[in-house]
Amino acid sequence: MLYQKLARPVLFRTGGGDAERAHEFTLRWLTRLSTQRQARNALIKINQLNAPVTVCGIPFPNPIGLAAGMDKNGVATGAWPALGFGFAEIGTVTAQPQPGNPQPRMFRMRRSEGIVNRMGFNNLGAQALAAQLTSAPAVNCPLGISIGKSKAVPLEGAIEDYLISLRFLYPFADYIAINVSSPNTPGLRQLQDAGALRALLGALRTEGARLAAGRPARPLMVKIAPDLTEPAMAELLEVCLETGVAGVIATNTTLGRDGVDPSDDAIAAEPGGMSGKPLTQVSREIVRFVHRETNGALPIIGSGGIMTADDAQAMFDAGASLVQLYSGLVYNGPGLVRSSVRRYRSSARKGARTPQSSRRRA
Can you say which residues are annotated as belonging to the binding site?
Answer: 68-72, 92, 117-121, 146, 179, 184, 223, 251-253, 276, 305, 326-327
Beta strands in the chain (DSSP E): 53-55, 58-60, 64-66, 87-93, 106-109, 114-117, 143-147, 175-179, 220-224, 247-250, 273-276, 300-303, 322-325
Q: Which of 357, 211, 169, 181 is nearest to 273 (CA)?
A: 181
Task: List residues bridging with 147 in a β-sheet.
Answer: 93, 178
Instruction: Report phi then psi at 343, rounded to 5.
Output: -65, -40
> Exposed, middle or buried: residue 266 (CB in 10 Å: 0-12, 13-18, 19+)?
exposed
Exactly one of 150, 182, 283, 358 is catalytic; name it: 182
Provide the annotated binding site for FMN.
68-72, 92, 146, 179, 223, 251, 276, 305, 326-327
Do 69 and 326 form a contact (C-beta atoms < 8 A)?
A: yes
All residues at 6 or more sequence positions from 357 whose CB lies less than 8 Å from its CB, including other chains: 53, 54, 55
- Active site (annotated) includes residue 182: yes
DSSP 147: E
- Annotated catalytic residues are 182
